[in-house]
Amino acid sequence: MSWELYVLEPDDLARYAAVPMTIRVESALKPVPLRGGLGGLRLEEEPLAVPYEKDYDQHGGPASWPARFDLSRWHIVAVIERGVVLAGAAAFGPALAHADTVAELWDIRVRPEARRSGFGRLLLGHQQEWARQQGYRWLKAETQNVNVAACRFYQHEGALLGAINIFAYSGQADVEQEVELDWFCPLASG
């Protein structure tokens, strides 16, 4: 393989968006309150009776970002081989709720045929290094309880589960049953 990692400009987002962000959902991590919630929450993986496909770009993917966000503080990278984007990741800082200590990993995606090739780890590591160089202490990645593979990935890469928000998507019909899980990757100062 002769791929290269490139930093993309906002006008390259159409190429980035060509990488689908669809997952097969066969199980979910169900939050179980301990001692009525006073003992915290435990996540238990439960298989779904009816698996389904989730398309993260259904309500506006990367091509819509310039109209929705100020991308001037974003860092967008892609793994490209022979002109084809195989994977990408977008981060920005600071994350709104965390002042200047936390950068946000907004998106990480890998073509289905390129998954399990190490690109996710490469991109996460690159974005961690970018955030570290910007002076952040943490890189936050939000995912959902239905994206069990992403949760396992972040845990394997040393991220800490910092928040479970069971009401995050309340009122959003197609995702209302999902739970927000916020993973925090520590950025050691070097």
The pLDDT confidence band at residue 123, using thresholds 50, 70 and 90, is: very high
| Residue 189 reports pLDDT greater than 80 | no
Residue ranges per structural domain of the chain? 4-186
Higher pLDDT, 60 or 147: 147
pLDDT tens-digit readout, 75-121:
999 999 999 999 999 999 886 666 679 999 999 999 999 999 999 99
Q: Are 124 and 72 in contact (CB under 8 A)?
A: no
Residue 188, C-beta contacts closer than 8 angstroms, at least 6 positions apart:
132
Q: Considering the entire predicted model, what is its pTM?
A: 0.92
For the domain with range 4-186, which CATH number is right: 3.30.43.10, 3.40.30.10, 3.40.630.30, 3.40.50.300? 3.40.630.30
Would you tell me how many other CB atoms lie within 10 Å of the CB of residue 47?
Answer: 8
> CB-side exposure of 1: number of CA atoms within 13 Å?
12
| Residue 56 reports pLDDT greater than 80 | yes
| Residue 10 reports pLDDT greater than 90 | no
Residue 120 to residue 113: CA distance in whole angstroms: 13
3-state secondary structure of 154: helix
Phi, psi of 62 (to 5 degrees): -55, -35
